[in-house]
Amino acid sequence: MTIAFSPAAQAGFARRLDKLAEVIVRVGLNLARGQEVVLTAPVEAVPLVRRVSEHAYRAGAALVTPLYGDDATTLMRFAHAPDDSFDRATGWLYQGMASAFRGGAARLAIIGEDPALLAGVDPARVARANRARSHAYQPALKLISGFDINWSIAAYATPGWATAVFPDLPEEAAVAKLWEAIFSASRVTGDDPVADWAAHNATIHARRALLNARRFSALHFRGPGTDLVVGLADDHDWGGGSAPARNGIVCNPNIPTEEVFTTPHRARVSGFVSSTKPLSYQGTLVRDIRVRFEEGRIVEAHAATGGDVLARVLETDEGARRLGEVALVPHSSPISASGLLFLNTLFDENAASHIALGQSYSQCIAGGGAMSEAELAARGANKSLIHIDWMIGSGAVDVDGIDAGGTAHPVMRAGEWV
C-alpha cells in the first residue's frame, strides 16, 4: 500500500522505515557477525522485512529466513477447516525454530495483526487453536523466554491494525497516522536513533538498578478500585531495556519499551485490582477488568465487556489465574502521552504499569536461566501456557515498595517515579 500523500512525504517515510530497520538490527537484536536470523512477519510487512534483511546482511548475518503470516488465510481456516484442525499446530515448524535457536540463530518477530480479526469467529475454536499452538511452540518458546538467545519484537502498520486504531479515518490516512505513532514510540524520529536508544536504555537501567538495590519483598498498588499487594519471587531480579542474553549478546527484546519488570511470587499476591485500559485479546476488547486475589490466585473476576473471554483465559490451566510478571511504567511515558489505545500489547503495556497472567520469565530470577522448572517454582515462579499483560497503572495510582521488615517506601506517586 502507498503510505504517503506526496513524493516528499513518501521519501521521508522511506528514511524512517530504514531507520526503524537499523534500530531493529543494531539495537533490538544487536546482531553478531555470522548469526542467522529467524524472522516472522505479516505478509504486508515485506517492505520492512527487506530493509531489515539488508541491514542484517551488512552487519554480517549468515542467513535471514523470513516466515510470513496472512490474516486472510487464517480466517479461511476458521471458516472452512474440519473441526479436528483446531487441535493441531505446526509442531514441525516450531521444532525447526528451536533447532535454529539451539544452533545460535537470533529471533525477530515483526507484528501488526488486525486486533479484530477473530471477532466473529467461534471463541471455542480460537481457544483450542491457541492451546494447540502453545503446546507445540514450547520447545522454541523456552529458549526465548529463558533468554538463551538474542531476540526482539517490533511493529509494522498494517491496514487492518491501523483502521482498528483509527476507525473514523480512511484506510490510507489511518495507516499513515499509525506509522507516525510507531516511529515516535520506537524512537526513530531523531538524527541518530541508535544514540537515542543508548540514552534511553541508560535511564531504564538506572531505574532497575535502584529497585534491585532495594530488594523489596512486595509492591503495594493503591488507586481507584485497586488495593493490591504483589509479593515478589525469592531472588527476583528487575529487568528492563537492553540486557545480555545467555549467549552474551546484549539486545533489546522490545522496540519500543518503557518498562522495568520482574517476577511476582505465584502464591503471595493478595487484594483487588482494576484495569486502567482495555485489554485487546483475540478480537475482543475486555473493558473494566476487576479481579480479587487470595494467596496468589484469582478467586473473583469481572469485566464490563468481554467477561466470557476473560473467563476462558482464566480456565486455560492452573497457572492462568496467577501472575507471571509485574511491571512499572511512568504515566508520562511517550506512549501514554500519545493518548492512543494501540490495541496491541507491545505498545499498550508501555503506557502504564501492568501485571501479566500466566508464565513467568526465568531471566527475572537470579541465575534462573540455568535452573530447572522445580527450582524456579521453589522461588515462586509461575508456569502457564499463556502470558497476557493488562494495565493497572495511571496518574491516579501510587506504588510503594515493601521491605523485608514490612516498612513501605514510596516508589511511584500519581503514576510517576519518586
Threshold 0.85, pTM exceeds: yes
Q: Which residues, listed in sequence order, are joined to residue 243 by a DSSP beta bridge?
A: 251
Do the beta carbons of residue 215 and residue 407 sit within 8 Å? no
Taking residues 29-57, what's their average pLDDT?
98
Closest CA to 207 of 408, 399, 404, 405: 399
**pLDDT score of 120:** 85
Closest CA to 158 of 107, 108, 117: 117
CB-count burial class (<10 Å; 0-12, 13-18, 19+) for 222: middle
Q: Can you read off the three cell numbers belonging to residue 258?
A: 518503557
**pLDDT score of 5:** 54
Given its phi and psi angles, is residue 373 left (phi above 0), alpha (psi -120 to 50 degrees) or beta?
A: alpha
Distance between CA 392 and CA 225 in Å, rounded?
Answer: 10
Residue 370 C-alpha from the chain's centroid = 23
Alpha-carbon torsion, ordered 163, 40, 30, 95, to 10 deg = 150
Confidence of residue 281 (pLDDT cuts 50, 70, 90): confident
**pLDDT score of 79:** 95
Q: Can you read off the three cell numbers belonging to residue 183?
A: 516511529
- What single-letter DSSP state applies at residue 87? G
Confidence of residue 9 (pLDDT cuts 50, 70, 90): confident
Domain definitions of the chain by residue range: 7-185, 210-417
| Residue partners of 91: CB distance under 8 A and separation at least 6 | 136
**pLDDT score of 127:** 86
Angle at 65 between CA 63 and CA 70, to 5 degrees: 165
CATH topology of domain 7-185: Thermophilic metalloprotease-like (3.40.1830)
Alpha-carbon torsion, ordered 200, 206, 207, 208, to 10 deg = 110
Taking residues 239-252, what's their average pLDDT?
96
Neighbouring CB atoms inside 10 A of 180's CB total: 15
Q: Can you read off the three cell numbers belonging to residue 321?
A: 489465574
Taking residues 238-253, what's their average pLDDT?
96
In tens, the pLDDT along 71-112 reads: 999 999 999 999 999 999 999 999 999 999 999 999 999 999
Tell me: pLDDT of 148 over 50.
yes
Distance between CA 418 and CA 411 in Å, rounded?
Answer: 5
**pLDDT score of 6:** 67
Distance between CA 75 and CA 103 in Å, rounded?
Answer: 34
Residue count of the chain: 418
Quote the strand ranges of 234-383, DSSP E. 243-244, 250-251, 260-262, 264-274, 279-281, 284-286, 290-294, 297-302, 323-328, 354-358
Buried b (16+ CB within 10 A) or exposed e, 41-53: bbebbebbbebbb
One-letter amino acid identity for 34?
A: G
Sign of CA dihedral 38, 208, 389, 371: positive
Distance between CA 413 and CA 397 in Å, rounded?
Answer: 7
Distance between CA 301 and CA 145 in Å, rounded?
Answer: 27
Closest CA to 386 of 323, 342, 330: 323
Distance between CA 232 and CA 386 in Å, rounded?
Answer: 20
Tell me: pLDDT of 4 over 60.
no
Strands 63-69 vs 151-155: parallel, antiparallel or unpaired: unpaired
**pLDDT score of 346:** 93
Strands 106-111 vs 151-155: parallel, antiparallel or unpaired: parallel
Q: Can you read off the three cell numbers belonging to residue 70?
A: 496472512
In tens, the pLDDT along 53-66 reads: 999 999 999 999 99
Do the beta carbons of residue 69 and residue 90 sit within 8 Å? no
What's the longest Cα–Cα distance across the chain?
Answer: 64
Angle at 166 between CA 164 and CA 171, to 5 degrees: 85
